Structure 1
């Protein structure tokens, strides 16, 4: 059962009870950060990619998962970052061999590291903010078999860029459909990095963007508000089936 801790907002002094949300591990078991009841929440003034994520080891299989750092939005408008404990969760196996901890093999140009079949069903996370869309995408890419997911070095013209060995991904939380230029810029970025690419959009794609993505072989996905990515073209369906761009 997810653990809860009392949290007092330092801005308005309201009392809250915070429960750490669970996220799916690749083995299928829910995984949640271990909260530090003795720590004080920090007011979140600005974000950095490294501080937005915490490493949590699954108590069932020992896999190390990168999960969103726990946060609480107070009704006064303050966003609080909830402290987590460095201690392993009860039942964790710190010495276990963890597939996610080993470096991914070098990918050939334009290809991504494949993952074996027999995947468990993807368990989405609800999208309420742009950050949730990035989280949902990162979890889906890990489900497909990609590791070491990070913020892309090169910022896209719109949305948020993610990268993994052999792959560049773009997450577009805008309310307008992704344009032809958006798709072409992603493809050009991937070509300069000798990597495959994939696009995730909340609002879908313009007709000419879909046509160009089919020509260039760019997988397209639409994210719904449940956090479920749905492939909307041939390359996208291929990626969803095999994990290979």
Structure 2
């Protein structure tokens, strides 16, 4: 049975995800920055929390961990590299590990850049990628701890998951990201169409994620640093893609 995924908006623009394995009823929550909305959703759905999956240590992704663990006794999963920065971790994971939520299995991917210990969870059977703040729809996370070359490698690894991967990122930034993307890639017809669709969704109060990786590959400038047309648009034809990525990220930081 497919993984059942429930999206919970919290704070100003964060998303938390509840995942339920249809065969066993085990339930995971990804990046619970707040406990209250997660508890309310669990009660409404009649689900029992068994796992917390953390992508990285920032408080808007971990703030609800203690309360949810105290309430449910669930198992907390986080990166080995973040031990000491996240409390009450029961299962420490690293790149290449596999994690089971009932019969649903995720591959753990190390994706440093935004933070050094950042991981993503890839449920291949369900084509569902939970990537925290590494990849956003039409954007990517700031480089708080890692460098541009690390982040470019991480984004390439996520891009390689295939066009039918669904990107469940942790923030609703897509409309603002579209404005920036158009500033560096103004001739991209696919991006123009995506930006119009995003605006229409937000005007209706609807989420823009999950986003299909195929659309991100065609439209997201941070995934296109090795594309000749984007390199031409930013005046860096033939340059190392990691350097092109760094320039695009620099422009976004001051946009």
TM-score by length of 2: 0.28
> Which of the two has higher C-alpha Rg?
1
Name the one with the larger helix percent. Answer: 2
